[in-house]
Structure 1
Amino acid sequence: MNHNQETTYYSLLGLHPSASVIDIRRAYRELSKVYHPDTAELPDPVATAKFQAINEAYATLSSPDKRLNYDIKIGYSRFSVIQIPSDLDHPVHKPYDYSKSMYLDASDRPLSPGEIFALFILGLTFIGCFGLAIAISILRGDPL
């Protein structure tokens, strides 16, 4: 895909470069339904080209490493440059909303059955070790 000033992967998906992973996934799903060659009302070559461009954009923006490299390539930085505001009564930038972070927080999703099982085994191991330490202490005659 040819990159020029107006066409970026973000603009293809209709997003700002600060979009979260969830926003990127949502935009990709909506656009892939619209431009899928089997369901699009556009001519097949046009729909296929649009669909491939959207897939390429999603493949890059959904991978943290590829996205970082792409952001550097287009000159976007997630970090604000410190500037002295001209009017100190009115801040220049709004505070950063960490809820729109690029990475998903583990607390944003329920635990999988495998994670629950691992926590259960970890708990049993802890209780078993604690019980073993008490039993050895009692058998040796050591005071608790």
Structure 2
Amino acid sequence: MPKRSEPTYYSLLGLHPSASVIDIRRAYRELSKRYHPDTTELSTTVAIAKFQQINEAYATLSSPERRLSYDLKIGYSRFGVIQAPPDLNHPVSRSHDWSKSAYLDASDRPLSSGEIFVLFILLLTFLGCLLLAIAIGLTRGDAAFQTQLLQPPPLQQQITNFSPPTTPSEIKD
């Protein structure tokens, strides 16, 4: 990284250029509490200037597009190797592919403790159901897989079990 007379946004926040979005947010919150004009012991003009620098640094580093252009401006690159275009006779006319960017998306965050707990309970439920199915299969054995066809009783047995209706209501039915 080239040396500059003015501090970089990373040095203002006390971070390395490879810092994650979470580290940038954490450093910004700590420094904004320390240098806020209403809470600091510094003079108002110094506190306002420092607070504005910290806000500008955070605004640039928290946006993936702005951070990428700032990194290129200061000479820092997350990518160690630059690939040559497949055809050297034609210039590359496509814009930057953000899908290959190493920056975190706003929705890309670590799981909270509640989300981890829910996933743990879901895993336990799945394992419990699986073990229950295996236990039922083992205890019932082959009987669980056999099906028995119900056959009607023989005709002679049906005739002997027959009783004629005795009341008028049974005759109607």
TM-score bracket relative to the smaller structure: 0.5 to 0.7
Secondary structure of the structure 2 residue equivalent to 1:76: coil
Structure 1 stretches lacking a partner, 5+ long = 83-100, 111-144
Cα displacement string for residues 77-107 of structure 1 (whole angstroms, at most 9, x for unaligned residues): 001249xxxxxxxxxxxxxxxxxx5305646
Q: Is the 8 A contact 1:33 1:39 kept in 2?
A: yes
Say whether residues 1:62 and 2:23 are aligned partners.
Answer: no
Give the aligned CA root-mean-square deviation in angstroms. Answer: 2.2
Flag the 1:45–1:62 CA change in 2: closer, same or farther, 3 A: same
Q: Is the 8 A contact 1:19 1:102 kept in 2?
A: no
Alpha-carbon distance in 1 for matches of 2:109, 2:43:
44
Counterpart in the other structure of 2:110: 108
Counterpart in the other structure of 2:19: 19
Amino acid at match of 1:70: Y
Flag the 1:71–1:106 CA change in 2: closer, same or farther, 3 A: closer
Q: Percent identity?
A: 72
TM-score, normalization by structure 1: 0.57
TM-score, normalization by structure 2: 0.48
Runs of 4 or more above 3 Å deviation: 104-107
Alignment of 1:1-144 (within 5 A): 4-5=4-5, 7-81=7-81, 102-104=103-105, 106=108, 108-109=110-111
Alpha-carbon distance in 2 for matches of 1:47, 1:54:
10
Alpha-carbon distance in 1 for matches of 2:7, 2:52:
15
Structure 2 stretches lacking a partner, 5+ long = 83-101, 113-173
Give the aligned length.
Answer: 90
Amino acid at match of 1:38: D
Flag the 1:107–1:13 CA change in 2: closer, same or farther, 3 A: closer
Amino acid at match of 1:73: K
Flag the 1:78–1:34 CA change in 2: closer, same or farther, 3 A: same
Amino acid at match of 2:32: S
Q: Which has the higher contact order (CA 8 A, sep 6+)?
A: 1
